[in-house]
Amino acid sequence: MLLACLALASFAPLEFRGGDASFLPEMESLGAKYFDGTKREDPLRIMKKHGLNTARLRIWVEPSHGWCNLEKTLKMAKRAKVAGLKVLLDFHYADDWADPGKQPKPRNWAGLTGAALVQRVEDYSREVVLKLVHQGTPPEVVQVGNEVISGMIWPDGKLDYKNPKTWDAFCDLLKAGLRGVKRASPKSLTMIHIDRGANWESTRIFYDNLRDRHVEFDLIGQSFYPWWHGTMEQMEENLKNTSERYGKGIVIVETAYPFTLDKMSGKPHMVDHRYIDKLPFPQTIAGQRQFVEKLVQLVKQTPNGLGKGVVWWAPDWLEQPNKHSVWENLNWYDAHGRVLPAIDALAR
């Protein structure tokens, strides 16, 4: 019976399969065009046509450049729902990029500390999600923080792994965000996301600390880029150990793979020949698809059916005359905006 269930699970598509569409409005404003074969189409509809079902949208608090603010996020959520996609909302709790190396406090929150900051995180989270609910686009999943392995909203929520008090402060902020989301949309799943997809020891230490402080959430999110995070075998081990220890669904919520290492626009890429020894498949269109096929297979094989999804990061960040894309060789579109076969492998 168990083998039969595993076989069925291996054929069923993942619950969350998609891409981060946060760059799309900016790309389109610069003239980017996307094609399925020879036909120009909305990238969200291309996702749906190829069997994907999830659009991830990041939101910044008050970005000075205007992209990924509340207004644009609401519009993108409507657009995603019209295309037939689920919405995965990614709170950065910052006015710009928040990641392991930086988690900047929003400018207008600068004077808030302690209980006042905790309350602001709860209120802000509730306000944003409630606006999504009221316009008829409740998010299926909400990330409370982005790659928060080092904490969030620094300096207040910055983690020092040797100082338990910093974990208490960080978890108070996480709990506030989680409360705000559930107050606005009780059915939305909540996710805590880190960038240790192939590192079991770091994953265990992080989520053990959350468990010890009774942080209640639904899904574990991981970033996995093989050139930064480790091998696919290490990722497989991490998925197995994480699922068995915490019993929560796991989503690889950020990933990508190059279809070339050569310069496409004459400008540098983030991933180039320096990383070739850490890339397990050829850096070709076929090799990119092979990577996705293997990744999806490993996520599906997570024990107890707890491998829940794979989401590609910035698949549509194309090179534009006025904006260089360091990610152009990691998209699932080529230099001409034509969708690549990797998208189909993700939907399997």
pLDDT of residue 16: 98
Active-site hit among 122, 254, 319, 328: 254
For CA atoms 282, 287, 288, 293, the dihedral sign is: negative
Residue 122 bears catalytic tag: no
**pLDDT tops 90 at residue 10:** no
Is residue 241 very low, low, confident or very high in pLDDT (cuts 50, 70, 90)?
Answer: very high
C-alpha–C-alpha distance, residues 11 and 7, integer Å? 7
Q: Tens of pLDDT along 172-202?
A: 999 999 999 999 999 999 999 999 999 999 9
Marked catalytic residue, from 147, 236, 319, 328 = 147
- pLDDT of 11 reads 65
Q: For residues 191 and 220, is the Cβ–Cβ distance under 8 A?
A: yes
| Alpha-carbon gap, residue 85 to 83, rounded angstroms | 6
Write the pLDDT tens digit of every residue in 61-70: 999 999 999 9
pLDDT tens for each residue of 302-336: 999 999 999 999 999 999 998 999 999 999 999 99
Whether the per-residue pLDDT at 7 is higher than 90: the answer is no
Q: How far apart are CA 326 and CA 335, in angstroms?
A: 12
Model confidence, pTM:
0.96
Active site annotation includes 293: no
**In this predicted model, what pLDDT tens digit does every residue of 275-299 receive, in sequence order?**
999 999 999 999 999 999 999 999 9
Rounded Cα gap, residues 152 and 143, in angstroms: 13
